Amino acid sequence: MYDGDFAVRWMAAVAVAVDREAGRLTELDSAIGDADHGANLRRGFTAVAEALAKEPPATPGGVLAAAGRRLISTVGGASGPLYGTLLRRAGKELGEEPAVDREGLARALAAGVAAVGRLGGAVVGDKTMLDALTPAVAALSESFAAARSAAEEGARATVPLRARKGRASYLGERSIGHQDPGATSSALLFAALEEVAEA
Amino acid sequence: MYDGDFAVRWMAAVAVAVDREAGRLTELDSAIGDADHGANLRRGFTAVAEALAKEPPATPGGVLAAAGRRLISTVGGASGPLYGTLLRRAGKELGEEPAVDREGLARALAAGVAAVGRLGGAVVGDKTMLDALTPAVAALSESFAAARSAAEEGARATVPLRARKGRASYLGERSIGHQDPGATSSALLFAALEEVAEA
Amino acid sequence: MRMLINVPETVVADALRGLAAAHPELTVDVERRVVVRRDAPVAGKVALVSGGGSGHEPLHAGFVGPGMLDAACPGEVFTSPVPDQMVRAAAAVDSGAGVLFVVKNYTGDVLNFEMAAELAEDEGVRVAKVLVDDDVAVTDSLYTAGRRGTGATLFVEKLAGAAAEEGAPLERVEAVARRVVERSRSFGVALSACSTPAKGGPTFDLPPGELEFGVGIHGEPGRERRAMMTSGEIAEAAVDAVLDDLRPADPVLLLVNGMGGTPLLELYGFNAEVRRVLAERRVPVARTLVGNYVTSLDMAGASVTLCAADEELLRLWDAPVRTPALRWGR
Amino acid sequence: MRMLINVPETVVADALRGLAAAHPELTVDVERRVVVRRDAPVAGKVALVSGGGSGHEPLHAGFVGPGMLDAACPGEVFTSPVPDQMVRAAAAVDSGAGVLFVVKNYTGDVLNFEMAAELAEDEGVRVAKVLVDDDVAVTDSLYTAGRRGTGATLFVEKLAGAAAEEGAPLERVEAVARRVVERSRSFGVALSACSTPAKGGPTFDLPPGELEFGVGIHGEPGRERRAMMTSGEIAEAAVDAVLDDLRPADPVLLLVNGMGGTPLLELYGFNAEVRRVLAERRVPVARTLVGNYVTSLDMAGASVTLCAADEELLRLWDAPVRTPALRWGR
Ligand SMILES: Nc1ncnc2c1ncn2[C@@H]1O[C@H](COP(=O)(O)OP(=O)(O)O)[C@@H](O)[C@H]1O
Ligand SMILES: Nc1ncnc2c1ncn2[C@@H]1O[C@H](COP(=O)(O)OP(=O)(O)O)[C@@H](O)[C@H]1O
Ligand SMILES: [Mg+2]
Ligand SMILES: [Mg+2]
Ligand SMILES: [Mg+2]
Ligand SMILES: [Mg+2]
């Protein structure tokens, strides 16, 4: 069972990973976007980790919802509202439960991913974060490791795709051959989740 | 004896030389100035050659004076009024004489150089065109070849100098180690003169 | 990369401090990133709020003032602002007559402004939104996030701003803004990449002798790479791309916009070519604006925006405006 | 080098065609390179004529109009204009009240304007001249061509232009111009070289991590090369260099001027630092102007100009001006 403290540690691990990988994310965004994805997420998850360290909500649902709100009010760009909605929606789904099992977490995140799809209007194959998020939440009912590797696989699978949503879509054919930055950062989310769960 | 036709051929030869060396002059001016000396003189002497080809004055004095006026109204920058004054003053000095010997030409050009000194306020050693012009007109009483090599020697001698006039003076110490573009173009004037005289 | 900055993290805050120092006629909340005209809210007047990533200056903060925007929300460099900024801006400028959000069509701007509109409406502010999407370089817009918003933003902010200043109600101001969007199209090229503070260098490499054709204003590569063209050839390509999509029945407002790194000398020369091409295509030009207005940091390049201006739009264009970057009339 | 041009030979003529197309309120003689305010000569008014090399836009042509210049003479890129242009300009704008030549202190400008003044006087025009030499980077001016004219040119043209517009006679207008020169100093840095069309590439190489300290506006290297500094450090160095030479007893006019290639975002951030330093040095700022006004093509960098403004100068600063690049008041 995973409690509020677990969720706080997850978010802190994401912050560390995003900080470490910010350069790579920005590099990927510079190829088919506007070179800010790393800086965006670093700003956002640093704020999330700080807020949670100061006033950690008691429940995992409370933590994820707070993290989502914080992302929305600090990131901006496309990824701010999208990641913010992912976590906020997942948090709301978890409700007031003091702890949740992996299955429950998977269901909540699936609701979050669905909300991301509704908000951004993208589907799997559009070369967005959904290409990593969707297979990852599906695999999460199996194991944390499966979720992580599904996310990574999904991110890699964006390389040959032509973007149809977000900024990369303006490039048309020229978006082909590059890995989507948002899908790449989504994989970091699930790597951090596995790391914290196995620790 | 050198007549109006000779003066026209001199100016035409200068135009050819300046056109050929424009890149080098601009390169020199880019090191310690504003990278336009080649373009400036090319514009000016092209206009001079065109004007003289259309309506060549009969006397060498008339030709040089017309060339000087043309430089003044087409070049701009520092070199326009200075070279313009050099030729205009020399032309006036020659007066209405239908032809002139080398001595006479040397005297007239010396008057022109003196006018350049008065107009620009520079003296030999200030790292300007005067460093080539002054020794060249002095040597011209000897021979055309002596004038040419004195001008070239004078231009080369500007390399170690610190500029005290013109745009290069703003560089202070940093002007040292570069050959002055105006002195370099002055050497072209005397190379063209020798070429036309020996032809 | 050499930039005139302290550290990348503070560029936006530093710029806002400098804006505040230079323009006492603006109220600048540096901390919360909201720029408001000093006399807001103006009683009975519909308020215009815009915003977007920084790096496009003078857009948007330079267009705050009588006759144009009531408030601007600058985001991080090339990153749309967050909803909190827009909600705060709306609250600061709403006189009760409602607020129009002017939104450039980028996923980030759209999503953040949408969230902001919901939140502001929760707080009792009437909000209308207009989406600016003028960039014809994005052709297959069914398979993209839609056309980008670029130069036409200036036209929307000026013309809708003038309508609001005249006292038009929210529906009218919104309708003017929509008409401007419908009647405006842009096309841009880049002769160099720009350098963002976060990346610390050029956002892409452009081989010598090539240019990016059909670019936006975020340092992204263009739709295609072409061999370098002359100013006249670029003018032909850009004008024709715009006219392919917009057949103006009225004389046009023309914006020849620099991306930031192209000298004004070149920009005026480009304007000469654009005017030549427009004359050849028999498109009369009513008004021209040449300058760096919707920029992409230090990117070299330019864009052409046309707006088919009926009589009302022309009158609104000529109406007085008093902002840091655009200023005429009384 | 990628430039938005046709061929290097026509850049100035192309720009003038584009200027004419954008600004019907100017009379532009493209062939003869003279830009004149349309209503010139203004009866009874002293006329201001300036000019210089192109590549510094909007200076000078962008400052032609009521309250500022009556005419401008653009030379080739970074090359002072020829006397014929100035004589023609003087003839076009002289109402009989005389003409003031505003000359930046460069050998070329000085010599050409001197010749022009003689020729114009021969034609019966009363001519006065003022030499702008504000750049404190040129310290040992006994051994140089004297201090360069840079940012203060804008102050001279605006303030003397306002005096002329008020109807002051030639001697007064000249005296105002001289007072502005005496009370103005500048200092500039470059973070990159500029590229001239004639050279087709950068005018000098700047190794990464260095900047040119004490530069002019012609793409020449600076007085020294220094290790890259932050915006705050540059502001301190620039302000202190100016204050070493100018101890303002009055509140100052402040121009934070971009060299062309520095984004407005950075320039406003730099202004914040300049204001911080001025506050620390207890120099009150009366008015601020931030933007690309006296440029050096696409050079990245900035300069700081201060003018100690007494009450009359402040009044003249606030007086209406109506030019392409500077515009306020009625
Ligand atoms: N409509 C969308 N739906 C889902 N994800 C999207 C959408 N648009 C963009 N994204 C994701 O957002 C990422 C870009 O985020 P970021 O660079 O932070 O924002 P911006 O594009 O505004 O600069 C993309 O790589 C993509 O994965
Ligand atoms: N006061 C002066 N007296 C004599 N020659 C000068 C003076 N100032 C400059 N020069 C000459 O002019 C040359 C520069 O000419 P040019 O580049 O055409 O003009 P500018 O300096 O205006 O760009 C210098 O190399 C120098 O030889
Ligand atoms: Mg991005
Ligand atoms: Mg030169
Ligand atoms: Mg972005
Ligand atoms: Mg020059």
> Which of D111, D224, D297 best probes binding to B when mutated, by most B CB atoms within 10 angstroms?
D111
Residue of D nearest to B73 (CA): D82
pLDDT tens digits for range C182-209: 999 999 999 999 999 988 888 888 888 8
Do the chains contact at C115 and A172, CB–CB below 8 Å? Answer: no
HSE-CB at D327 with a 13 A cutoff on CA atoms is: 19
Do the chains contact at C79 and A171, CB–CB below 8 Å? Answer: no
pTM score: 0.95
**Shortest Cα–Cα distance, C210 to chain D (Å):** 8
Distance C71 CA to ligand 1 centre (A): 26
Cβ-contact C319, C329 below 8 angstroms:
yes
pLDDT for the residue numbered D71: 98
Least CB–CB distance from A72: residue in C76, C115, C143: C115
pLDDT for the residue numbered D1: 59
Q: Residues with Cβ within 5 Å of ion ligand 4?
A: B 29, 33-34, 36-37
Token pair in block for residue D303:
């300069």
Judge if the upstream peptide bond of residue B60 is cis by omega within 30 degrees of 0: no
Chain D adjacent subunits, 3+ CB pairs under 8 A? B, C
B131 Cβ inside 6 Å of ligand 2: no
> Which residues 61-80 on chain A approach chain C with CB closer than 8 angstroms?
72-80
Do the chains contact at C223 and A169, CB–CB below 8 Å? Answer: no
Q: How far apart are CA D216 and CA D212, in angstroms?
A: 10
Do the chains contact at C77 and D265, CB–CB below 8 Å? Answer: yes
Stretch D137-151: mean pLDDT:
81
Least CB–CB distance from D79: residue in B40, B119, B171: B40
Cβ-contact C237, C229 below 8 angstroms:
yes
pLDDT for the residue numbered A161: 97
* Structure-token match 């403004």, residue found: D309
- Which residue has its alpha carbon closest to ligand 1 atom 9? A166
C108 Cβ inside 6 Å of ligand 1: yes
Cβ-contact D126, D99 below 8 angstroms:
yes
Cβ-contact D241, D223 below 8 angstroms:
no
Nearest by Cα to B167 from B30, B23, B39, B32: B32
Do the chains contact at C145 and A72, CB–CB below 8 Å? Answer: no
pLDDT tens digits for range C5-15: 999 999 999 99
Phi, psi of C326 (to 5 degrees): -135, 130
**Shortest Cα–Cα distance, D222 to chain B (Å):** 7
Cβ-contact D180, D246 below 8 angstroms:
no
> Which range among A32-36, B180-184, C114-118, C259-263 shows the weakest confidence by mean pLDDT?
A32-36
Q: Assign D43 to helix, strand or coil.
A: coil
pLDDT for the residue numbered D208: 84
Integer angstrom CA distances of residue A183 from A95, A139, A153, B64, C143: 27, 16, 10, 75, 19
pLDDT for the residue numbered D184: 98
Length of chain A: 199
pLDDT at D144 over 90: no
Going by pLDDT thresholds of 50, 70 and 90, the confidence category of residue A38 is: very high
Do the chains contact at A170 and C145, CB–CB below 8 Å? Answer: yes
B84 Cβ inside 6 Å of ligand 2: no
pLDDT tens digits for range B92-125: 999 999 999 999 999 999 999 999 999 999 999 9
B38 Cβ inside 6 Å of ligand 2: no
B130 Cβ inside 6 Å of ligand 2: yes
Do the chains contact at B43 and D76, CB–CB below 8 Å? Answer: yes
Residue of B nearest to D202 (CA): B30
Do the chains contact at C196 and A36, CB–CB below 8 Å? Answer: yes
* Residue C138 touches chain A, beta carbons under 8 Å: yes
pLDDT at D201 over 90: no
Q: Are strands D285-291 and D195-196 parallel, antiparallel or unpaired?
A: unpaired
Cβ-contact B74, D82 below 8 angstroms:
yes
pLDDT tens digits for range A82-108: 999 999 999 999 999 999 999 999 999
A37 Cβ inside 6 Å of ligand 1: yes
What domains lie within chain C, and their CATH numbers?
8-183 (3.40.50.10440), 184-316 (3.30.1180.20)
pLDDT for the residue numbered C156: 98
Out of C45, C56, C183, C185, which one is annotated catalytic?
A: C56
Residue of D nearest to B164 (CA): D144
pLDDT for the residue numbered D141: 59
CA–CA–CA angle D1, D3, D4 (5° rounding): 165
**Total domains present in chain A:** 1
Q: Give, for ligand 2, the residue of B37, B43, B86, B170 to mutate: max count of ligand atoms closer than 8 Å to Cβ.
A: B37
CATH number at residue A90: 1.25.40.340
A29 Cβ inside 6 Å of ligand 1: yes
Number of neighbouring beta carbons within 10 Å of residue C266? 26
Q: How far apart are CA D65 and CA D36, in angstroms?
A: 8
CA-CA-CA-CA torsion sign (B54, B55, B58, B60):
negative
Number of neighbouring beta carbons within 10 Å of residue A97? 18
Token pair in block for residue D126:
């009363």
Q: Range of B53's domain? A: 2-198
Q: How far apart are CA D73 and CA D91, in angstroms?
A: 13
- Which residue has its alpha carbon closest to ligand 2 atom 15? B79
pLDDT tens digits for range D297-330: 999 999 999 999 999 999 999 999 999 999 999 7
Going by pLDDT thresholds of 50, 70 and 90, the confidence category of residue C1 is: low
* Residue B43 touches chain D, beta carbons under 8 Å: yes
Q: Give, for ligand 1, the residue of A21, A24, A37, A75 to mutate: max count of ligand atoms closer than 8 Å to Cβ.
A: A37
Q: How far apart are CA D266 and CA D274, in angstroms?
A: 12
**Shortest Cα–Cα distance, D286 to chain B (Å):** 31
D108 Cβ inside 6 Å of ligand 2: yes
User: What is the number of CB-based contacts under 8 A between chain B and chain D?
Assistant: 117
Q: Assign C272 to helix, strand or coil.
A: helix
Going by pLDDT thresholds of 50, 70 and 90, the confidence category of residue C263 is: very high
CA–CA–CA angle C251, C151, D301 (5° rounding): 125
> Which of D264, D266, D270 best probes binding to C when mutated, by most C CB atoms within 10 angstroms?
D264
Q: Packing angle between helix A181-198 and helix A79-94, nearest 10 degrees? A: 40
* Residue A30 touches chain C, beta carbons under 8 Å: yes
pLDDT tens digits for range A127-177: 999 999 999 999 999 999 999 999 999 999 999 999 999 989 988 888 999
Q: How far apart are CA D46 and CA B112, in angstroms?
A: 37
Q: Which ligand has the nearest atom to the CA of B154?
A: 2
Catalogue the active-site residues of D: 56, 218
Which atom, in ligand 1's list, is nearest to the CA of A166?
A: 8
Residue of D nearest to B39 (CA): D198
A74 Cβ inside 6 Å of ligand 1: no
- B55 Cβ contact partners less than 8 Å away, ≥ 6 residues apart: none
* Residue D76 touches chain B, beta carbons under 8 Å: yes
pLDDT tens digits for range D40-75: 999 999 999 999 999 999 999 999 999 999 999 999
pLDDT tens digits for range A175-188: 999 999 999 999 99
ipTM score of complex: 0.94
Q: How far apart are CA C161 and CA C66, in angstroms?
A: 8
* Residue D299 touches chain B, beta carbons under 8 Å: no
**Could you tell me which residues are beta bridge partners of residue D287?**
D253
pLDDT tens digits for range D168-194: 999 999 999 999 999 999 999 999 999
> Which of C2, C7, C265, C283 best probes binding to D when mutated, by most D CB atoms within 10 angstroms?
C265
Do the chains contact at B76 and D106, CB–CB below 8 Å? Answer: no
- The runs of H, that is alpha helices, within C32-149 are 83-93, 107-122
Q: Give how far the C-alpha of residue B177 lies from the chain's centroid of Cα atoms, to the nearest Å.
A: 22
pLDDT at D257 over 90: yes
**Shortest Cα–Cα distance, A139 to chain C (Å):** 28
Do the chains contact at A169 and C81, CB–CB below 8 Å? Answer: no
Stretch C76-96: mean pLDDT:
97
Cβ-contact A38, A25 below 8 angstroms:
yes
pLDDT for the residue numbered D140: 67
B68 Cβ inside 6 Å of ligand 2: no
Stretch C287-295: mean pLDDT:
98
Q: How far apart are CA C134 and CA A124, in angstroms?
A: 28
Going by pLDDT thresholds of 50, 70 and 90, the confidence category of residue B138 is: very high
pLDDT at C28 over 80: yes
